[in-house]
Amino acid sequence: MPLSIYCSGSIKKGPGDDTGPLWTDEERASVRAGAGQPVVFLNPDDPIVDPANTLGQFGRDMYQVMIATAVVVDARVRRGIGVGVEMAAAGMLGTPVIVVAPRNSKYRMDSLEYRGVRVADYVHPHIAVIASAVVDDFESAGQKLAGLPRSTSAGNELPAWLSQALAEYEHVILPHDPPMLAVVRQLSLPVPSLLQA
């Protein structure tokens, strides 16, 4: 079965949006080169069937996080609330998180004056705790993919905000979401048993 990654990072929200670096074919090619095997990319910026269904739209992102081999976070620059939620959800769902944060960038510094002390080899606490790996570039993220053990979320009860969003997406949006239906077939995924309990 091919590896699959959820591409976490900012998405362009309109022509005037200057969010900084985004996932492009270049980043995907670097991950693929590092992995040395087929990789399916799960894209949060694919068009959604019903944009007014915010629970379903959120559920789509969470569904992709759930089925991914890993979430790869583009943390080259400051990111927003969505990326933090995706990382937290990945932790709850047992999906490993690989963070691309080059040395001496926003979330990772060789030295930082922090809360009254100098900290060497600083990694932002939220990243340090949740990430399975912090790497310098996308090729290194690809290299980490195959060796990451998937943690288990079996027996863990999901919070209502996450289980409701996943159920909304699976039952209302997924049957009408051609890009995701193609991914589900490509990855030979069954209907997520997580939602059948």
* Residue 39: per-residue pLDDT: 95
Which residues neighbour 28 within 8 Å (Cβ) at sequence distance 6 or greater?
7, 39, 41
Cα atoms found within 13 Å of the Cα of residue 26, Cβ hemisphere only: 4
35's CB contacts (< 8 A; 6+ apart) are 3, 142, 143, 145, 146
Fold observed for domain 3-195: Rossmann fold (3.40.50)
pLDDT at 193: 43
Phi, then psi, of 110 in degrees rounded to 5: -65, -35
Q: What pLDDT is recorded for position 61?
A: 95
- Pick out the chain residues at pLDDT < 70: 11-19, 150-156, 191-197
Give me the residue spans of the domains in the chain. 3-195
pLDDT of residue 2: 84
